[in-house]
Amino acid sequence: MSTLTLDAVSRWYGNVVAVNDVTFEVGPGITGLLGPNGAGKTTLLHMMAGFLAPSTGRLELDGAPTWRRPELYRQLGFVPEREAVYGFLTGRQFVTATARLHGLTDPRAAADRALEMVSMTDAAERAIAGYSKGMRQRIKVAAALVHDPPVLILDEPFNGMDPRQRLHMMDLLRAMAAEGRLILFSSHILEEVERLSDRVLVIVAGRLAASGDFRRIRRLMTDRPHTFTVRATNERALAQALLAEPAVQAVELADGLLTVRTADYGTLTRAIGPAARRAGASLLELRPADESLESVFSYLVRR
Amino acid sequence: MIRALLSITLRGLLNRRRTLLLMLGGALLLLIAALFRLSDPSEPESLRFTGRLLADFGLAVLLPLVAVIVGTAVIGSELDDGTIIYVLARPVPRALVVAVRFAVAWVVVAVLVAVPILLGGLIGAGGQSELAVAYAVASVLGALEYTAVFVALSLVTSRALVAGLAYVVVWEGVVAGLFAGTRIFSIRQHALAVGDALAGEGAVTAELEPLTALIVAVAVTVLALVLALRRLERVELRGETS
């Protein structure tokens, strides 16, 4: 059973802090690393996979540091986000060469098995240069799996995959996790993480914003305060009517535009129609102001 | 393990159009030698001309040009596009990675340069082999040193091709021509010294003692490879945004 430990890990590039004081521990099973683009997910994963040195802090796999230790890769498979793979090799040559670099006794058999696992057997004889994004993604996964590692780290593994390939890959990762492997993958898409992982680490602006059971984090995300902007006729009367609603926390009126804050999203959407009627106002537009993933994430950070 | 390293490295190099274009340089040398032969020169004249062709074009232009392109690409191109991760994410000793990549680059440079020098020398000198063999051997040794330096350079800077060309043009071409004392750190002068020592009539007179040149060449090669290994052991891969 493998354990990946991060203790107060930070990493900066010059003056830019990419990862800021991150502490957590992951064990077997699937863990999702969720965060918007540029949050530091790749930096974090590259540190875990031994390609970057932490600027400060301790980062260990089963008690041994990952940085500058090629032996690490006997127990770790890594799927990088970058698309570039040796285009001049066929899929089979790439995976077989990888098996040889791992010093496996039967590299051909190991490559066959890995290609089969990602359903790339049919395309294995074609040059990687001609592969689609999804196929490249899968051949990278096959190469990372070829030595049957107990730890698998994947950076945005579902990028470029069609829905069918995505489901297949999710099944594959689930099956591998069921065998007791530690699987850690990153994504900026909430649904992917929701469907696949038992545990979630949310990283925003280099900091660990939340971690733990996905359902708990999901609840935090839905229960957070929502902000709407409302355009209406007779907006002053509407503002007064809304302030009387228990679901409304605050109303702001500026340049004829109402900004309404609520902790209870469902009640407000039901209450706003009747409130408008009471105030003699017509609703022209009702728009959620902060539904982007980034704002969800930044709420988690502020919390 | 070595087999896989070799095949990825060699195929990666030969797959690059740039590497194949370098064959044109060798072809040009052969063409000049053949055209010269057509003018039906006297023997002393043909040895003098061939010596200059092999030294001034073969060793001074073709060799550094091929070496800088192949040497900076053999690891550098994979550092640029990130594919080096598919070698570094394996339990392969980094010294083996450097050794294999360097060896492949050396052989490719040596073949691309020594073969045209050998053939061009034979054609130019009307079948006399002494000059051709001497400068071919010198180019193989020069290839060793140049390649080691350019491999190391590619691990030190991401602008290794420019830096390497600057070294060849500015340092070897200008500075070493103006200040005799700097020639000891000119790889071209090392190769010329070896060529001069091995060849008889027609050789271009070298400025350095062959033994000195050899010792410095070996020392530089070893130091460059040690530096390359140290850099590769500490190379950081950041991902897409780096």
Tens of pLDDT along chain A (303 residues) come to: 899 999 999 999 999 999 999 999 999 999 999 988 888 999 999 999 999 999 999 999 999 999 999 999 999 999 999 989 999 999 999 999 999 999 999 999 999 999 999 999 999 999 999 999 999 999 999 999 999 999 999 999 998 889 999 999 999 999 999 999 999 999 988 778 888 988 999 998 899 988 888 777 767 766 677 788 889 898 889 999 898 888 888 898 888 888 888 877 778 888 888 999 998 999 998 887 765 556 666 666 666
Q: Which of B90, B233, B234 sits opposite A101 (nearest CB)?
A: B90
Mutate to test the interface with B, among A52, A66, A86 (most CBs of B within 10 A): A86
- What pLDDT is attached to residue B66? 97
Backbone angles phi, psi at A188, to 5 degrees: -105, 10
pLDDT by residue (tens digit) across B77-104? 999 999 999 999 999 999 999 999 999 9
pLDDT value, residue A210: 84
Which of A43, A96, A102 lies nearest to residue B91, judging by beta carbons?
A: A102
pLDDT at A300: 67
pLDDT at res. A189? 83
pLDDT at B228: 98
A69 touches chain B (CB under 8 A): no
Interface test with A, best of B8, B10, B75, B96 (most A CBs within 10 A): B8
CA distance A139 to A142: 5
**Is A291 an 8 Å CB contact of chain B?**
no
C-alpha distances in angstroms, B50 versus A211, B66, B92, B134, B140? 74, 20, 46, 12, 18
Centroid of chain to Cα B6: 19
Q: Is the pLDDT reported for residue B217 higher than 90?
A: yes
So what's the pLDDT on residue A245? 87
Count of H-run helices and E-run strands, chain A: 10, 14
| Residue positions counted in chain A | 303
Nearest to B1 among A86, A94, A100 (CB): A100
Q: Higher pLDDT residue, B42 or A299?
A: B42
8 Å CB contact of B240 and A53? no
CB proximity A43 to B under 8 Å:
yes
What's residue A288's pLDDT? 76
User: What pLDDT, on a 0 to 100 scale, did the predictor assign at position A289?
Assistant: 72
Question: Hey, are the CB atoms on A43 and B238 less than 8 Å from each other?
Answer: yes
pLDDT at B192: 95
Asked if the Cβ–Cβ distance from B239 to A68 is below 8 Å, we say no
Q: What is the mean pLDDT of residues B69-80?
A: 95
> Which residues from chain B sit within 8 angstroms of residue A96, using beta carbons?
4
B240 touches chain A (CB under 8 A): yes
Q: What is the pLDDT of residues B14-41, one digit of tens each?
A: 887 887 789 999 999 999 999 999 999 9
Query: Are A89 and B8 within 8 A, CB to CB?
Result: yes
Instruction: Kindly list the residues from chain A whose CB atom is less than 8 angstroms away from the CB atom of residue B10.
Output: none
B242, pLDDT greater than 50: no
Maximum Cα–Cα distance across chain A: 80
* CB-CB neighbours of A68 under 10 Å: 11
**Would you give the end-to-end CA distance of chain B in angstroms?**
29
User: Which token pair is B99?
Assistant: 């050794």
CB contact under 8 A, B8 and A81: no
Whether B85 and A102 lie within 8 Å, measured CB to CB = no
Which tens digit of pLDDT belongs to each residue from B142-159?
999 999 999 999 999 999
Dihedral angle computed from the Cα positions of residues A73, A77, A83 and A88, in that order, rounded to the nearest 10 degrees: 70
- Across the A:B interface, residue pairs with CB atoms under 8 Å apart total 94
Partner-chain residue, chosen from B1, B236, B240, that has the shortest CB–CB distance to A82: B240
pLDDT over 90 at B241, yes or no? no
Please report residues of A whose CB lies closer than 8 A to that of B231.
Answer: none
From residue A83, how far is each of A90, A116, A131, B94 by CA, in Å? 15, 21, 11, 24
CB contact under 8 A, B234 and A68: yes
- What is the chain B residue with the closest CA to A140? B86
pLDDT at B208: 92
Q: What SS3 class is residue A155?
A: coil
Which chain B residues touch A97 with a CB distance below 8 Å? 4, 7-8
Going edge to edge, which strands form the sheet with A29-34?
Answer: A76-79, A151-154, A182-187, A29-34, A199-204, A207-213
Q: Does B126 touch chain A (CB under 8 A)?
A: no
H/E element holding A77?
A: strand A76-79
